[in-house]
Amino acid sequence: MTNWKTIIVNEEYSDENVYIIELNRPEAMNSLNTLMATELIDCLKELREKEDLRVLILTGSGEKSFCVGADLKERKGMTNKQWKQQHDIFEDAYGLLRNFPYPVIAAVNGFALGGGMEMLLSCDLRYTADHVKMGLPEVTLGIIPGVGGTQFLPRAIPVGLAKEFLFRGNKIDAQKALEAGIINGVFPKEELLTSTLEIAKEIAGNAPLSLKAIKQAINNGLQTDINTALTIELDQYYKCANSEDRLEGVLSFNEKRKPNWQGK
């Protein structure tokens, strides 16, 4: 793997088809600057070509912060043109994260604010440490979320709750986020990564074509009417049904053994 300044990739669990990306600017609360966003783009492009990757975990360095959004110190004094140029890079990074072919799990180890919360909303599954607080405070800064916050939050929780959250710009703790349905689970901070890894390994043991097909069917189907969505599902279904892995899945079931997936 390439060595980046603000991104760490842990390949320790690659034999179990799991890779971990760590946002690595702890001195700046893992805030997102232009360099980190650019490196995240390059990293995701490199990882999506890994033949042994089935699940990607995204977390932050340290215990204090997952990501507190854009680095406002870097943005101080930016012209409108420079702001737009930077935001274009942010949009590309978040788009690659959302459209990563395999499941992406956020292991939220600390504050997730602004673009940091939008980052976790861009992941397929979200688990947090019990001390985490999250929020979309853009309204208090004279802007609004710009990489998915106003779109993905109302798709995750009731619209009224999402609007209140966005209008107030306040923070909520992990338990309230769990109760609202924003996240999938809460773990003690010392168990967050271990517990997330266990879930990731379980998912990674399933058929790779099925994982990709489920993600495509859900993400594309949610954007359309139910009849079109069912057609999308069937298209993905037959990609799996006509695969070598489907034959292997049935054979391994009948032979009472672990399947040997080939992704074909």
- Quick one: which of 92, 87, 96 has its CA closest to 114? 87
Confidence of residue 63 (pLDDT cuts 50, 70, 90): confident
Instruction: Name the pTM for this structure.
Output: 0.95
Residue 94: pLDDT above 90?
yes
Whole-Å CA distances, 152 to 85, 102, 114, 162, 167: 23, 19, 13, 9, 15
Answer yes or no: is pLDDT of 67 > 90. yes
Distance CA 70, CA 83 (A): 11
pLDDT band at 16 (very low <50, low <70, confident <90, very high): very high
Enclosing H/E stretch for 104: strand 104-108
Task: Give yes or no for residue 189 having a pLDDT over 90.
Answer: yes
Where residue 88 falls among pLDDT bands split at 50, 70, 90?
very high
Looking at residue 102, what DSSP letter applies?
A: S
Instruction: Return the SS3 of 109.
Output: coil
Active site (annotated) includes residue 51: no
pLDDT band of residue 131 (cuts 50, 70, 90) is very high
Q: Name the H helices within the chain.
A: 34-47, 72-75, 80-98, 115-121, 149-156, 159-168, 174-180, 192-204, 208-221, 226-241, 244-254
Asked whether the predicted pLDDT for residue 1 surpasses 90, the reply is no
The active-site residue, picked from 11, 12, 118, 233, is: 118
Residue 109, pLDDT above cutoff 90 = yes
- Per cent of the chain over pLDDT 70 is 100
| Per-residue model confidence (pLDDT) at position 14 | 96
Residue 162 above 90 pLDDT?
A: yes
Supply the mean pLDDT for the chain.
Answer: 96
Asked if residue 89 has pLDDT above 90, the reply is yes
Distance of CA 233 to the CA centre of its chain: 22
DSSP 171-235: EEEHHHHHHHTS-SEEE-GGGHHHHHHHHHHHHHTS-HHHHHHHHHHHHHHTTS-HHHHHHHHHH
Is 118 labeled as catalytic in the residue annotation? yes
- The arrangement of strands across the sheet holding 133-135 comes to 65-67, 111-113, 133-135, 171-173
Contact between residue 56 and residue 103 where contact means Cβ atoms under 8 Å apart: yes
Q: Which of the four pLDDT bands, split at 50, 70 and 90, describes residue 8?
A: very high
Q: Reply yes or no on whether the pLDDT at 248 is more than 90.
A: no
**pLDDT confidence band for 208 (50 / 70 / 90):** very high
Q: Percentage of residues in the chain with pLDDT exceeding 90?
A: 92
Q: Give 131's contacts (C-beta < 8 A, 6+ positions apart).
A: 63, 110, 174, 189
Which of 12, 63, 91, 138 is labelled catalytic?
138
Give residue 263's pLDDT. 87
